[in-house]
Structure 1
Amino acid sequence: MLRIGLTGGIGSGKSTVSALLAERGAVVVDADRIAREVVEPGTPGLAAVVGAFGTGMLAADGSLDRAALAAVVFADPEARQRLDGIVHPLVRARSAELAAAAPADAVVVHDVPLLVETGQASSYDVVVVVEADPAVREGRLVQRGLTAEDARARMAAQASDEQRRAVADVVLDNSGTLEQLAGQVDRFWAERVAPVTG
């Protein structure tokens, strides 16, 4: 099994790279998706979040009000640490379960937005970092509905490009077109994945 840690700042296009790797046969373990699953209604994770932050974090249907929670934790580093302390262990445990279920010869891509921030780089055989020009990232986030100010705040709350590069084995630049990005993924697969798995 080849364990790839995939990371990149918000708006960098990490999910696009994840999808491109899945098309090439990788098993993707998506930490963002798992982070949503572990706080769904009825889960111990959601109960813990409500216990820490109050019932104001719940939407009318009993689900997590992500916007309300984001407003609290992005404005308060201590609150974000408290949330991370609840969610990250649940995500890691579920990620390990999913990876363990993959075939022994699989290429398992762990799509982890906060790989650097949570000190997980050494857990992987190869660390791939997706980068994009900050202005490009901000533009993508604004297209998703964030204000430019919110986009910059979320980018600033994460590790810097320099911090990510320090742990990277491979850096993919996603400032250009999808075709350019796919070409870089093809080269990575041919040079770093196929020789190990093929």
Structure 2
Amino acid sequence: MERALQRFAITGGIGSGKSYVCHLLEARGISVYDCDEAAKRLMRSDESLQMMLQHLIGDEICQNGIIEKRVLAAFLLENDTHKQAVNDIVHPAVANDFMLSNLQWLESAILFESGFNHRVKFNHVVCVSAPLEMRVRRIMERDSITRESALQWIDRQMPQEEIEKRADFVIVNDGRASLETQIDKMFVDFNWEI
């Protein structure tokens, strides 16, 4: 039985396999709110959000009502101040959208860095963790980028070890331990019934 008031966050560094774990949850009938997809959707559809990003980054960020991903990525990678400025615009809108969705499970790569964990009260936080080289390979393959670029993205996020310390439960996605077994254990630990 689902408990309407409980909220769960799934986080972990880029390339750790969060989306795959969420896919496994969805196969069990659990809907998961994807913060990345929500941010993209809101940046496409929310004109006030687009205007704030144009004011911050410049007119080149938005062409014909579409956010230019490469311009945004270059701006984010320049320095932490830029990243924080974008987060301060986008993440409050995403948090509000999540609360309106009435979903209980949320996936966010930057749950702690963005302050999302302060905007929404989560009963439990789950970290999906994977070895560095596995993460680098996944990012390079998924995004068709160089090793150096993949490492830059990883370096821009909170260290995996810190995320693990802040989490209530860690799922190790190293290809050795069964993810399904770890999810079952997580449900037992959280007293969650589907």
TM-score of the two chains, using structure 1 as the length reference: 0.86
Matched, 1:111 2:99: no
Q: Give unpaired runs (5+ residues) of structure 1.
A: 103-107
Cα deviation, 1:43-79, whole Å, max 9, x if unaligned, reads: 21112111211111124x4310011111112112211
How many residue pairs were aligned? Answer: 187
CA contact (8 A) 2:125 2:167 kept: yes
- Give the conservation status (yes or no) of the 8 Å contact 1:41–1:64: no
Offset at residue 41 of structure 1 (A): 4.9
Partner of 1:79: 82
Aligned residue number for residue 9 of structure 2 = 5
Residues 121-166 of structure 1, C-alpha deviations (whole Å, 9 max, x = no match): 4721111100000100000011021211110011011111221112
What residue number does 1:169 align with?
A: 168
Please provide the CA RMSD for this pair: 1.9
**Gap change, CA 1:120 and 1:80, over 3 Å in 2:** closer
Change beyond 3 A, Cα 1:85–1:20: same
Question: Bigger shift: 37-46 or 62-71?
Answer: 37-46
Aligned twin of 1:133: 131
Residue 23 of structure 1 corresponds to: 27
Show the counterpart of 1:69: 72
Identity, % of aligned positions: 28
CA distance in structure 2 between the partners assigned to 1:35 and 1:63 by the alignment? 13
Indicate the SS of the match to 2:152: helix
CA distance in 1, matches of 2:117, 2:46: 32
- SS of the residue corresponding to residue 117 of structure 1 reads coil
Q: CA deviation at 1:88?
A: 0.9
5+ residue gaps, structure 2:
none
